[in-house]
Amino acid sequence: MTATPRVAFRADAGSDIGLGHARRCLTLAGALRELGVECFFVFAGDRAAREWLAASDFDVVSMESARDLAGALEHPRVRQARVFVVDSPSLGTADLARLAAAGQRVVVIDDLADHALPVDLVVNASAGAERLQYRGAPRTRFLLGPRYALLRRQFVQAGARSVSERARRILVTVGGGDPEDFTSRLVEWAVRALGAVEQDVVVGPFSGRSEALRRAVDAAGGRVALHEDPKDIASLMLAADVALCGGGQTVYELAATGTPALAIRLAENQTLNLTALAEAGTLAWVGDAGDADLEAKIGRALAGLADDPTRRARMSRQGRALVDGRGAGRVARVVADLGAAG
């Protein structure tokens, strides 16, 4: 009897780092499950993040420390895994080498190419990833670019997109976490820029409803709908004429749904996303979270895009041409083959 192939995942999630790393690993795990591969997660993080991950219908092996690889490798489930997928900025070159030395076939989901990756497979779905100077091993295979974006099934052939003469509805989202309470400011700025526009505001599971956000929603006079970790965010994106967002993985979901986006850089590792997608014409990078004049820049950008259906239609076409939503299946097949050969 042939043993069921197993893949272990190590991903970070929490209020400080958000959901992007864990979300794309869950997406890949789901695609692998469809191929008959058993997946589970090795996780070290706060209670809220652990509970969110456990609710995903995949088993979770707890670690005491994010760097406790020795303990993780001693766990019976990990020892039976043929492949170890890492999506964690906390693990460096030496950690990855230890995984390989322990007999694992190692896959890294990466964003920055900022350290050597002596592994079997590197996945970086960022637009512009092909420009990065990766340092791998002779055996390392690279899957680079939006063709390999790890998006949930709802983004495969997402529904029809209409372009209104003037933007009537916007989507506001900064990701799974919002430690600086940035969402409340975006809601206020959108009202000042566009007046009585409908807003769908996505609140991540690590964000919560702050007092500042409550005041911003109340001031909007009933035109703001809050959505806490919605299961079908693709529908919200399709309903929006414009998105106001952070520069993380959400920008690829917006591209797949053809949603024109105005993006703000919230972290340094979002730079490649924003630079390359702005060049591709799917979004406009309006500024950084720390910019003193960010409200003014967002206000000008929102007002201009709201009244420009031609530009919004062009951004929509560019997004869907770049991201087709099928990346998870492509990556899963490569990972499954890697496990079968292990």
Residue 79: is its pLDDT beyond 90? no
Tokens of 45: 């993080």
Q: 177 and 314: one domain?
A: yes
Distance CA 145, CA 85 (A): 18
Residues 206/49, Cβ–Cβ less than 8 Å: yes
What is the pLDDT, as a whole number, of residue 85? 95
Residue 1: is its pLDDT beyond 50? no
Q: Could you report the per-residue pLDDT of 50-71, keeping only the tens digit for each?
A: 888 888 889 888 776 655 666 6
Q: 164 and 281: one domain?
A: yes
- With respect to residue 145, please indicate whether it lies within any of the assigned structural domains: yes
Residue 179: is its pLDDT beyond 80? no
Instruction: Specify the 3-state DSSP secondary structure of 221.
Output: coil
- With respect to residue 1, please indicate whether it lies within any of the assigned structural domains: no
What is the pLDDT, as a whole number, of residue 64? 65
What is the pLDDT, as a whole number, of residue 159? 80
Beta strand segments in 138-273, E: 141-144, 169-173, 198-203, 224-228, 242-246, 261-265
Q: How far is CA 72 from CA 10, 46, 105, 122, 338, in A?
A: 10, 17, 15, 21, 21
Q: 207 and 288: one domain?
A: yes
Q: 173 and 300: one domain?
A: yes
- With respect to residue 101, please indicate whether it lies within any of the assigned structural domains: yes
Q: 166 and 131: one domain?
A: no
Instruction: Specify the 3-state DSSP secondary structure of 158.
Output: coil
Number of domains the chain is built from: 2
Contacts of 167 (CB under 8 A, 6+ apart): 194, 197, 241, 242, 305, 306, 307, 312
Q: 180 and 288: one domain?
A: yes
Q: 311 and 330: one domain?
A: no
Choose among 18, 96, 94, 6: nearest CA to 58.
6
Q: 197 and 223: one domain?
A: yes
Q: 117 and 169: one domain?
A: no
Widest pairwise Cα distance in the chain = 65
- Mean pLDDT is lowest, of 135-144, 170-179, 272-281, for 170-179
Q: 140 and 207: one domain?
A: no
Confidence of residue 210 (pLDDT cuts 50, 70, 90): confident
Distance CA 306, CA 190 (A): 11
Q: Could you report the per-residue pLDDT of 304-331, keeping only the tens digit for each?
A: 999 999 999 999 999 999 999 999 999 9
For residue 190, give its domain range: 158-322
